[in-house]
Amino acid sequence: MATSNTYRRSEVLRSLWPWLPLWTVVALVAIFSHGPMPLYSTRTLAVAWEMWRDHNWLVPHINGEPYSEKVPLLFWLIHAGWLVSGVNDVWPRVLEVIFGGVQLVQLSVLAGRLFPARPWVQKAAPWMLLALSYAFLFGLQVMYEVLLADCVLGALLCLTPTLRRTEPRWLLFGVLTGAGLLTKGPVMMLHLLFPWLLGPLWSDWAREHRARWYGRGVLALLLGFAMLLAWAIPAGFAGGEAYQHRLFFTQTAGRVVNNAQQSQSVQSHPHWFGWYLVWLPMLLFPFTAWPRAWVAIGALRKPFESGIRFALCWLLPTLLLFSVISGKQWYYLLPEFGGWMLLLAGAMAVLRERNAKLAEGYWLGSWPLGVASIVFAGLLFALPYVTAGQAFHNAWVEGAAPYSRTFSVGFLLLGCLLLLRGRGEMRRVAIAGLLGALALNTLFTLTLWHKYDLAPATALISDAQGAGHPVAYAGNYEGQFHFAGRLSRPIGELRDGMAVQTFALEHPDGLVITHPDQLDATALRYALLAQPFRSAWVVVWPAPTLAMLQAGLTPPEPAEPPRVFPAAIPSLNVPQS
């Protein structure tokens, strides 16, 4: 038996090597090619930093206020690394890569359990998941969804049978449910609800032991909620009455029902019912542009085997439920991406068995992706010609033009790879998808990252706070300066027209940050610093100067002109008190 177990473990490890090291290297290169991305990563890091700085391990804070939008597990994991390495942005990014690798391994194991007679599914599913361009690029953010996906897949693994045990591992199911609840809150249940409720449709054990399936399942879910409440109740008392209300009602209801939010800080992101369905082809690219994938799904016929039934019971009602909910973001569906690839891999395996001609025919192969890649390479090669003329101006295109021809060679080679015939087509699609996403991320870093790099403004703001100058932001501040600047005090929020006047009167040595769409002549004359940010600008002003300009007055001439980026700036000055 020991020899058999050793052989089985060696086979599992050997099956990991074709895709896990490749994905890990590519993910590490991509995630460290530029700094943490505003506003996703910088907001997460800002919350982790404030908890760490103030030794407040119970209640997340952002900009000095309790942060009810998120629960603390990701922050605690970041803190665990900082205990060893000190505060840095390296560990949180390595942590995200670890989460992504765990997700691939979990999907491989899940596929092996659900399709025991089809070993190809276990080999193919992680390849397919790593190829998803959106999932890969979003996985570079220091965010909660990849950890949530790990918790969801881990909990689903607990429901599936193994060779030695057919009954679910209920205790571990409850613990992983609790971990998911501590990662993203009650939304964890939306990802788990239907695979468990519809268990008798895909699980033989659930069909034969319905009372135990639902009874023990309820107890396991109660254990998960007990873990959440073990944090939420003391956190609610510690955070105050307003925080309790947001934590237990507003931050969830504001996403579920349109206009239910009662605070500006709640991010509800409302969209219409069919929004996810419209964007699903983009989210599942490149496989939505692979004809064989559509044929495989379309060729599925009843009776479905248990793995297919599991995927359908998970994906279809979950997609419908998320579509009904008002709040929608692409990344909300990230935990289901593994399920879609599980369904596709299972369908491909069935097609390979039942219809070899459709499974191997060249005209259903990856050639459309190859042609699209070659066309894209041609467009990249032509960019310098397009931007050289005077008829077309676009900052994004003009930024990419100096490097576009180099990257056009890469996409040309990927296109040729996708045009090849023969075995290994799925792996070629996966490798091309992964390397194509890496190439786009690298091109973004070389050409457009300066529009997202807030280091100049952050340095000025950090120096100003260090010198005792108050700082305020005109509008809603998202924490984008706090972690990188290691800020020790909140940044004020000025939300109405007279707020700048009041702030300038109370703090004549203060600074005000604005976020205009265009950089006008007054900013180029009177501001301290101006830098591009995404498709707009960040401008830092002396508070009295901005107040005078808004009042229609002419401020005194500054001692020095403003620092305007992306020009090289030797130093940054702040007003002296």
pLDDT digits (tens, 9 = 90+) for 487-516: 999 999 998 878 999 999 999 999 999 999
**Which residues pair with residue 65 across a beta bridge?**
62
- Give yes or no for a cis peptide into 116 (omega within 30° of 0): no
> What is the model's pLDDT at position 395?
73
pLDDT at position 219 is 98
Model confidence band, residue 15 (pLDDT cutoffs 50, 70, 90) = low
Domain boundaries, the chain: 12-251, 365-451, 454-564
pLDDT at residue 4 is higher than 70: no
Give the helix ranges, DSSP H, for 448-577: 455-466, 482-485, 499-506, 521-526, 543-550
Q: Model pTM greater than 0.85?
A: yes
Question: What pLDDT does residue 256 have?
Answer: 59
List the beta bridge partners of residue 512: 472, 541
> pLDDT tens digits, residue range 436-473?
999 999 999 999 999 999 999 999 999 999 999 999 99
Q: Could you give the C-alpha distances from 477 to 42, 300, 363, 416, 481, in angstroms and in order?
A: 12, 50, 52, 47, 9
Q: What is the pLDDT of residue 496?
A: 84
Judge whether residue 570 has pLDDT over 50. no
Question: If you average pLDDT over residues 313-340, what whole number do you get?
Answer: 96
Q: 1-5, 360-364, 544-548, 559-563 — which is least confidently predicted?
A: 1-5
Q: How sure is the predictor about 18, in pLDDT bands with cuts at 50, 70 and 90?
A: confident
User: What pLDDT was estimated at residue 276?
Assistant: 96
Task: Answer for the pair 313, 164: CB distance below 8 angstroms, yes or no.
Answer: no
Structure token digits, residue 514? 């604005």
Average of per-residue pLDDT values in the chain: 91
Query: Predicted confidence band at 12 (pLDDT cuts at 50, 70, 90)?
Result: low
Tokens of 470: 């108050």
Q: Are 81 and 95 in contact (CB under 8 A)?
A: yes
Share of the chain above pLDDT 70, in %: 91
pLDDT of residue 512: 98
The C-alpha atoms of residue 465 and residue 481 are separated, in whole angstroms, by 12
Cβ-based neighbours of 98, under 8 Å, separated by 6 or more: none
Query: Would you say 243 and 59 are in contact if contact means Cβ atoms under 8 Å apart?
Result: yes
**Band (255; pLDDT cuts 50, 70, 90):** low
Q: Which amino acid is at 247?
A: L
- For residue 424 the two structure tokens come to 């290994």
